[in-house]
Amino acid sequence: MFEKLGEVEKKYESLCHQLQNPDIASDQHKFRQLMKEQADLEKVVKIYRHYKSLKKTIEDSKQMLAEEKDEELREMAKEEISEAEETIGEVEKDLKICLLPKDPNDDKNIILEIRAGAGGDEASLFAEELFTSYSHYAGSLGFKTELLSFSAGNVGGAKEIVAMVTGDQVFSRLKYESGVHRVQRVPKTESQGRVHTSTVTVAVIPEAEEVEVAIEQKDIRIDVMRASGAGGQHVNTTDSAVRVTHHPTGIIVYCQEGKSQHANKDRAMKILMSRLKDLEEQKAIKEASDARLSQIGTGDRSERIRTYNFPQSRITDHRIGLTLHSLDDVMKGNMAQVIDPVSAHYQAEALKHTEDSES
């Protein structure tokens, strides 16, 4: 591991040196490429240097203990050793996590799809609320959320919402949110005060590059129509809405939120490419003999991953057995408290698997 870390540090120093070269700075494409490489390595280099600093502190303090006669200085040395040894184990664990095989999709933007499931109108209402929570969470991280398609529910809410979330490493932050989200609460229409259970499904799909997915023109049909429902001035006045049908898979994509037919067509094709790439990756996950070996997804999309219990202000993640009584806070967009522990769990699982393989 430390041989790899030494190579990473040398690579980082080389990149820093190259970025100071005026010839590189004048080539904006090359400069941005090197800047990204440097940024990718910076975190692990900082942790590695912290690790080396702790090791040196331990070595120097042990040497002082061996040579020093002054009891006060010896106590200080013992204290420094104790503090450094307490910290170094966690730092070493962080380094191992940094060296885990990287998910190739982590840097990508995502297509976020939320659909009402079982529970009728209540599911539609929660689908829109959950989308709002994700939007606020994304905004807190500096991400941008762009609505691509919105299908309204019968009494408000949404039957389906499709959005693009863009920013730095969006997929790495949200990739574990795919699955079935269950909500338990008393609907406004329930006179007896009985708790109603409904579900929504969430799909987090990494945006596909055009070079990754080839779509034959003969395999698709593009229809244009009037946009419907709430929207801007373009709604119901021009044929701006676009529906793309992919015949081999039966995938249908509908976009109406853009103000022009051209914009909606581009968005619909982006969604289609991402769904087709995701379809291939989901097949690969199902074929994998061990889910922990897969670096391209988290598993079965039909899995119930989380329950939101409003009467008790309780949120439970069933994958890791996490229960919090801060549902209102989570629904306001403070989702890190439920998202980060899940991410840490999967990192720990991957690390355990790597250590088991090495032993």
In whole angstroms, give the CA distance from residue 241 to residue 150. Answer: 12
Mean pLDDT of the chain: 84
- Both tokens assigned to 348: 């720990």
| Domain topology for 2-98 | Methane Monooxygenase Hydroxylase; Chain G, domain 1 (1.20.58)
* CA distances to 13, 46, 90, 234 from 50, in Å: 16, 6, 11, 56
- Residues in a beta bridge with 180: 201, 304
pLDDT band at 238 (very low <50, low <70, confident <90, very high): low
Q: Residue ranges of the domains in the chain? A: 2-98, 110-349
pLDDT band at 355 (very low <50, low <70, confident <90, very high): low
Which whole number is the average pLDDT over 17-24? Answer: 85
The rounded distance, in Å, linking the Cα atoms of 319 and 355 is: 22
Distance, in Å, from the CA atom of 279 to the CA atom of 250, rounded to the nearest integer, reads 12
Q: Contacts by 6-15 with C-beta closer than 8 Å and gap 24+?
A: 8/41, 8/44, 8/45, 8/48, 9/45, 9/48, 9/49, 11/41, 12/38, 12/41, 12/42, 12/45, 15/41
Tokens of 136: 């606020």
Q: What's phi and psi for 189, nearest 5 deg?
A: -85, 0
CA distance 213 to 209: 7
Q: In terms of pLDDT, which residue wins out, 225 or 179?
A: 179
Work out the pLDDT band at 347, boundaries 50, 70, 90: confident
Give the N- to C-terminal CA distance of the chain in Å, as an integer.
Answer: 14
Eight-class DSSP state of 107: T
Q: Is 68 left (phi over 0), alpha (psi -120 to 50) or beta?
A: beta
Return the amino acid letter for 335.
M
**What is the mean pLDDT of the segment spanning 89-111?**
83
Reported confidence tier of residue 189, pLDDT bands at 50, 70, 90: low
Using one digit for the tens of pLDDT, what is the confidence trace for 267-311?
888 889 888 888 887 776 666 544 434 433 444 456 789 999 999
| Strand ranges across the sheet with 220-225 | 220-225, 241-246, 251-255
Question: Given this model, what pLDDT does residue 231 score?
Answer: 45
Compute the distance between CA of residue 264 and CA of residue 255 in angstroms, rounded to an integer. 5
Element (H, E) at 196: strand 196-206
Nearest residue to 233 (alpha-carbon basis) of 269, 202, 258, 200: 258
Q: Which two tokens stand for residue 24?
A: 């590189």
Kindly report the CATH number that applies to the domain delimited by 110-349: 3.30.70.1660
